[in-house]
Structure 1
């Protein structure tokens, strides 16, 4: 329970006791007043009745006495009137049972009014004849007391409600710094080093806030320096210094990763841009103007391609390559024409007397295509555009091959039937500790079982699943198989790691289902890891952060896959700190032969260690790589050097 809630409850109880006490004092005082009034009323009645009774009893006229008593009693204000003789005999006695209308029985039972009797002696001269005893009827007193209780209770309740609202507001105002401190502490726990914006006036809280801000700032400054250092190595090794785009080496590595790795996409295209006669433009004007022209073209491309651009690269002196995912052929044609028009306007504005132009080619590609084949088709498209004239655009679009013959709707039907019939199988590849060779976890991979019993690789059916928005259903089917393994008690080594799709993260229904399923899984959830690709995290940082927080709340771990090559890798690491990262295969392969890549790898490792993030290398294929990675303090490794994907997940 939070401190604010504890204080609120304590203050509420204090106010409640005070208001109840005031209520009790008010009711008790009113009751005493009413009892005094009843006694006074009875005494007045007895005194006024004693004179006529003295005359009637002095004449021994009992009938007249009875009439005198009855006439007063019938007014209804009395519970009892009795005339008692000198010898103690009852001469006249009128009694009315108490009946209280409009007052709950529990109230009259809880708060009882005692009406004191009024007495007056009856005498004729010096001779005493008896006495009259009068008891007032308490009905009206009870009704008055009940009405007072309701009114007083209402005002007290309103006062209590107002007091609680003010208390809540004041506590929130006074204890706001504690909430900021709590949020900052949780952020630091999640490796996000933020500042508390308001320093409270209370000395104790002020000192705590300033201390936390200093600590957070120092750590943040240190990590910023490490990030800047690592980013410097990345730019040196993989970034074109003029345009800020990926250089040819980075473009090739990232494109290969896209084609061969776990990054999921439904549609993919490569746009090739060749600037013709740029050398003459530089000679005629200046290299500075030429460079400025290239930067302007870069801004145009970024603006038009937007979030669909996965890789933007300068792959030669006058050649550019842009990889776009998520757009079908029709949409890609529109983007290509818009890019053509914008580039043409820019060239016409700067070319002057120099015959500068461009050639624009667009080709599509599919998962598991060879990079060399795609780039060969791109060269053909660019050359075709060049032969077509100045500032021309050429599309070269091809079908998928064997799987393309099935058709989009055919693939959707195949995938839906597989889900209905549960035709899936799981493979697991070990991730091991480089130092001890102990299995850290096994990364789970899924295969669709075709109607002929043969396994369909993920690279063939996942693009179509993405196109038809079936990934949430596939991930759910995959996870049910994984949960079944855990619940069946299979003796797996370490954890099981599962890759998630961004489509699943963006499905509120899927996330709700997964959260509920992890609750049912209980302590077994601690044997699970959920992974997103670095590209998947960068698409929707907030969704990735919420997903990571959710799985951690249930005891599972969160990792980022294929990490290290993208320009925003280090920013993603800071914004969505995982429990571990898996270094991209391309970066691991480049490090032994490229000093810049090795420096980048070492910087990423250092930054990850500062954030308490475990580092795992992917694509480990040789003992030499293992030796280098151990020296660089990489904790784990995954690759065919340690084992190929196998259906034997529990061994």
Structure 2
């Protein structure tokens, strides 16, 4: 029972006892008053009637009877009796005890005695007889019943008003306590916030101030750890001047693409090399050369924003490298050309030695290959461009037809986008599922992966997702997946379950979550299917951290949590902003990017970083997951670092949903 209910119960009982005691005392006082009045009335009547009888000459019984009847007929007496000195009844007038308008139960609960008063009638100095008078309690009962009834209504009204006032008062007084309870429960849900409004009650104010200090310390502690982890990550993965990926980390992430299923979609490698750097430094000065590198990075970063999964890194002191997936000659050409034009328009490359310093080489593969092969071809092409002299760029497709994925031939045609439109419109989607296993070998959930049927072939997500995102088809794809999920999670009449039992995880684009129409439809579907909502885990890319400062995004995630859904961040650990905004989103699961777990047994930097993430996750009860776990050695190392859940071919490869 809550404190508010206890206080209401205790004070209600107290007020009820208080009012009841006051009521009983008041009714008893009224009863005693009426008894005294009856006694006084009988005494006065007996005295006055005795004097009147004593004045009747010759002791005429007829006159005495007439006198007694005259008094008795007024109806206020139960009995008037006159006897001689021997006790013989000379005159007797008596009414039956019938009371109208008074409940019988009331007369039993509140009895009124009918007092009898006797007096001696004297004639001179000699007694002439005995007179007894008994008052009738009828009027007294009626007056007492009316008084009791009115006071009962009054007391009940006052009691109800007092309880209502007490309820309102306790609500006001204990409102800060409810806020403190909500704050404590929010902490249990990994949501840390400070109460701005403090109560006037000094004791409650002190408690809430202590809670606020605790929350601030926890937030500061988490922020300090997150900042330390981010700084460590930047120091070991990024170039100090440009902030781009170091050559080692760029190679690790790009190579991971080709070693996974996404490698079937191919990729494009762009090398940007500056020739004659020493001459440019002499021409513009050392300080301006650093500014030039910074401007080049800013323009390259801005140019590839339409490719969310693009990698950009430092190749050497005077060179950069960019990796795009999937591989497509027609899709890569505008990116390569835009990169070259954005750099060539910088002033140092317009005049002087700078006119022969900028060369951009791009090689694309539309199927499986290795990063080393792309790099070798791109380097040869760069040398050819440098021999030509003038600033220039060139894009070629890798002659790798023996390993080319057949479905990639569609990407070389202009109707590739229309084929995707058609597949989404016809719901030509296949869902694969892969389990996520914890350290106790229990399945936490199954993640669903979408594939499109295009020209009788299954096209992996890596091949069509970049095109879907660039052309704003993400909400169409996500809606189609949710509708398919909603349909497949219904148990058919024959009892077969096409979808795996337990929790289900699906990926939704960050921009889809921020789309009002999509989000409203998703919430309505989940409200109609509460059991599905409790099984569902919404995954979204780490890129949603760019929107983490939006209160609307935080509110939408809280809405999903309120319906029973859980929230997961996918491909975590690549962005610098991830850790700083993590506390606002409060995800249930954090899924590390596969590049962090790739070669984890040899990469000590990633081991330290993952260990720091595990410590942060434990402090907020996040479940830290590793993706692309493919060997026992990997899994053993990850468990030692604090990873509690893994997903990858070691535990089961993606399989079609039945």
Structure 1 residues 41, 403: CA separation in 2 closer, same or farther (over 3 Å shift)? farther
Partner residue in 1 for 2:114:
116
Partner residue in 2 for 1:72:
74
Partner residue in 1 for 2:597:
588
1:414 aligns with 2:429: no
1:639 aligns with 2:648: yes
Name which of 418, 428, 433 aligns with 1:405: 418
Partner residue in 1 for 2:230:
231
Task: Please give the residue correspondences for 1:452-467 in structure 2 after superposition, counting only pairs within 5 Å.
Answer: none
| TM-score, normalization by structure 1 | 0.62
1:498 aligns with 2:505: yes
Structure 1 residues 167, 532: CA separation in 2 closer, same or farther (over 3 Å shift)? same
Cα distance, 1:133 vs. partner?
Answer: 3.0
Cα distance, 1:427 vs. partner?
Answer: 2.7
Name which of 572, 591, 601 aligns with 1:563: 572
Partner residue in 1 for 2:333:
376
* Cα separation, 2, equivalents of 1:220 and 1:388: 45
Task: Please give the residue correspondences for 1:295-310 in structure 2 after superposition, counting only pairs within 5 Å.
Answer: none
Cα distance, 1:548 vs. partner?
Answer: 4.5
Q: Does structure 1 retain, via aligned residues, the 8 Å contact 2:491–2:497?
A: no
Structure 1 residues 612, 489: CA separation in 2 closer, same or farther (over 3 Å shift)? farther
Cα distance, 1:23 vs. partner?
Answer: 2.9
Q: Does structure 2 retain, via aligned residues, the 8 Å contact 1:240–1:246?
A: yes
Cα distance, 1:606 vs. partner?
Answer: 4.5
Deviations 1:94-147 (A, max 9, x none): 5684233xx8x5984675351533545484623226444331412233212322
1:430 aligns with 2:435: yes
Q: Does structure 2 retain, via aligned residues, the 8 Å contact 1:559–1:582?
A: yes
Name which of 143, 149, 152 aligns with 1:149: 152
Structure 1 residues 624, 131: CA separation in 2 closer, same or farther (over 3 Å shift)? closer
Cα distance, 1:631 vs. partner?
Answer: 6.3
Task: Please give the residue correspondences for 1:87-98 in structure 2 after superposition, counting only pairs within 5 Å.
Answer: 87-88=88-89, 91-94=92-95, 97-98=98-99
* Cα separation, 2, equivalents of 1:491 and 1:404: 31
Task: Please give the residue correspondences for 1:68-217 in structure 2 after superposition, counting only pairs within 5 Å.
Answer: 68-69=70-71, 72-73=74-75, 78=76, 80-86=77-83, 87-88=88-89, 91-94=92-95, 97-100=98-101, 105=103, 108=106, 111-114=109-112, 116-119=114-117, 121=119, 123=121, 125=123, 126-128=127-129, 130-136=131-137, 137-138=139-140, 139-163=142-166, 165-166=168-169, 169-170=172-173, 176=177, 180=180, 186=185, 189-191=188-190, 217=217
Structure 1 residues 516, 620: CA separation in 2 closer, same or farther (over 3 Å shift)? same
Deviations 1:487-545 (A, max 9, x none): 96979999544125465797478558647855699xxx6x8765444344755234335
Structure 1 residues 456, 21: CA separation in 2 closer, same or farther (over 3 Å shift)? farther
Q: Does structure 1 retain, via aligned residues, the 8 Å contact 2:607–2:641?
A: no
Structure 1 residues 144, 4: CA separation in 2 closer, same or farther (over 3 Å shift)? closer
Q: Of the two, which has the highest radius of gyration?
A: 2
Structure 1 residues 158, 3: CA separation in 2 closer, same or farther (over 3 Å shift)? closer
* Cα separation, 1, equivalents of 2:32 and 2:413: 97
Structure 1 residues 227, 131: CA separation in 2 closer, same or farther (over 3 Å shift)? closer
Structure 1 residues 600, 36: CA separation in 2 closer, same or farther (over 3 Å shift)? same
Q: Does structure 2 retain, via aligned residues, the 8 Å contact 1:447–1:457?
A: yes
* Cα separation, 2, equivalents of 1:479 and 1:574: 31
Q: Does structure 2 retain, via aligned residues, the 8 Å contact 1:84–1:90?
A: yes
Cα distance, 1:322 vs. partner?
Answer: 13
Deviations 1:46-70 (A, max 9, x none): 5445555666783514773476136
Task: Please give the residue correspondences for 1:350-361 in structure 2 after superposition, counting only pairs within 5 Å.
Answer: none
* Cα separation, 1, equivalents of 2:24 and 2:261: 73
| TM-score, normalization by structure 2 | 0.61
Partner residue in 2 for 1:31:
31
Q: Does structure 1 retain, via aligned residues, the 8 Å contact 2:117–2:134?
A: yes
* Cα separation, 2, equivalents of 1:15 and 1:388: 85
* Cα separation, 2, equivalents of 1:133 and 1:518: 79
* Cα separation, 2, equivalents of 1:257 and 1:31: 97
Cα distance, 1:379 vs. partner?
Answer: 2.3
Cα distance, 1:644 vs. partner?
Answer: 2.8
Q: Which segment drifts farther, 59-68 or 579-588?
A: 59-68
Q: Does structure 1 retain, via aligned residues, the 8 Å contact 2:626–2:646?
A: yes
Q: Does structure 1 retain, via aligned residues, the 8 Å contact 2:69–2:93?
A: no
* Cα separation, 2, equivalents of 1:291 and 1:144: 97
Deviations 1:430-472 (A, max 9, x none): 3346x88x46345232658979998786676987996667856
Structure 1 residues 384, 98: CA separation in 2 closer, same or farther (over 3 Å shift)? same
Q: Does structure 2 retain, via aligned residues, the 8 Å contact 1:122–1:128?
A: yes
Structure 1 residues 228, 4: CA separation in 2 closer, same or farther (over 3 Å shift)? same
Deviations 1:330-378 (A, max 9, x none): xxxxxxxxxxxxxxxxxxxxxxxxxxxxxxxxxxx9xx84377644321
